[in-house]
Structure 1
Amino acid sequence: MLAYIWAEDLDGHIGKDGHLPWHLPADLSYFKQRTLGHPILMGRKTFASFPGMLPHRLHLVLTRNAALKEKARVTDNLEVFMTPTEMKAWITAHPDEDIFVIGGASLFTLLKDEVDTLYQTVIKAHFDGDVTMPAIDYRNFDLISVQSGQVDEKNQYPYEFRVYQRKPKDSI
C-alpha cells in the first residue's frame, strides 16, 4: 500500500526554507505513530531536512545525487533510487509493505495516481511558506475519519487529522 502523510496549513503550505513552517508536537507524534516500522519515501531535500536517520524506519530517497547513493551502500535503513523507474520497481517488488510518501511536492505529484491512502493533518492557521501541497482530486477518495486535535500550550494551533481511502476503480 502506498500512503501519503503530510501536514498543511489553510493555504496548502507544507514547507518553508526546507522545514515545516510551524511547530506542532501532536502532528510529529502522529507522524511517528503512523510511520514507525514502515518505509518512508522522500526526495533528497526532504531527507536533507532531517537532523538524522529516523529510528525504526527504512528511508527511501529518490535523487540524482550519486554521493547519496554511495552513502546508502554503507548506511543501514537507507535505500537510494536514481530514477523514478527504479523507485517504482522497488515499490512493485514490495506489495505487502505500507510505504509512506512524506515529501516533497514533486514526489507527491509523481505518485498521485498510485496512492491508496491519505493521512492529512490540516492546521487551521496561515503560515508563510514556499512549498505547497500539489492538488489532489479528492473525488477519487472517501473520507474515512476526521479527528480534531487538542489545542494546548504545546500545540497552539487548531488542527485535525483526516484519513482518506481511494475509492475502488469501478466507483470512480
Structure 2
Amino acid sequence: MSAHSLPHIALIAAVAANGVMGRDGGMPWHLPADFRYFKQKTMGHRIIMGRRTWQSLPGLLPGREHVVVSSQPLQLPPGVRLACSLQQALQLPLPGDMVQDRVFVIGGAQIYAQALDLADSLYLTEIDAAVEGDTFFPPWDRSAFVEVSRESQQVPIASADPSGAPVPFAFVHYRRRDR
C-alpha cells in the first residue's frame, strides 16, 4: 500500500515523559484540557482505534466516524465500522459528511505502532512527568519529524503528581519531514 494513496494520517495521544499513555485499561490521569484538544482536532474526521480503545470509550464520540480494528468479530453499535486491519481501515471510503483530508489514529499501543511509519503528523499531549503505567506509546524517530507548534500548559493533573502540584504539559504538533 502506497502512502501516497492514503489520506493524511495523524496519530493523536497523551504521553508522559517516560512514554506511558495508559494504566489498567484507562488513562493514568484526568486532564480536561486534553479532552478538549482531542475533540477540537478530531471533530469531523474518521477516528481509527483498536478494540480495547473502543471498549474504554464511554460511547460514541459525536461528530466523528468510528472505525474499530480487530481480527475478532465484534458487536458494534450502528455508526461504528469494523476493519480487520489498519490497512483496511485506512482504505474504507469516507462518508460524505466527514472531512476527507485527514484520519486520526487514537490508539491503542498496537495500532499506534502499526500506524507510526505511515503517519504524516503526530498530535501529542506531552506530559512532563514520569507516570506509572502498563501501556506505552511506541518509540519514534524524532529526527523524522519537525515540530510545527507547541502550546505549553501548567495545571494540576490528577494522578500525574499525587501531591496535586501543577505538572507542565504541552500540546505539540509534529509533521513528518519527508512528506
Match of 2:63, SS?
coil
Map of 1:6-155 to 2, 5 A cutoff? Answer: 6-68=13-75, 71=76, 75-76=78-79, 78-90=80-92, 93=93, 96-151=100-155
Task: Name the residue aligned to 2:177.
Answer: 167
Q: Deviations over 1:89-147 (max 9, x none)?
A: 32xx5593310101011111111111001101111122210001101111111111111
Match of 1:149, SS?
strand
Contact 2:86 2:111 in 1 (8 A): no
Q: Following the alignment from structure 1 to structure 2, what is the Cα–Cα distance between the partners of residues 157 and 147?
A: 14
Q: Following the alignment from structure 1 to structure 2, what is the Cα–Cα distance between the partners of residues 118 and 130?
A: 21
Taking a change above 3 Å as real, the CA distance of residues 85 and 128 of structure 1, as seen in their structure-2 partners, is same
TM-score where L is the length of structure 2: 0.83
Q: Following the alignment from structure 2 to structure 1, what is the Cα–Cα distance between the partners of residues 38 and 62?
A: 13
Q: Percentage identity across aligned positions?
A: 37
Structure 2 residues not aligned, in runs of 5+: 1-7, 159-163
Q: Following the alignment from structure 1 to structure 2, what is the Cα–Cα distance between the partners of residues 14 and 21?
A: 7
Between Structure 1 and Structure 2, how many residues are aligned?
162
Contact 2:10 2:102 in 1 (8 A): yes
Structure with the largest fraction of strand: 2
Q: Following the alignment from structure 2 to structure 1, what is the Cα–Cα distance between the partners of residues 91 and 67?
A: 13
Give the superposed CA RMSD. Answer: 2.0
Q: Deviations over 1:6-64 (max 9, x none)?
A: 00111100100110000111111100111111111100000000111111111111002
Match of 1:54, SS?
coil
Structure 1 residues not aligned, in runs of 5+: none
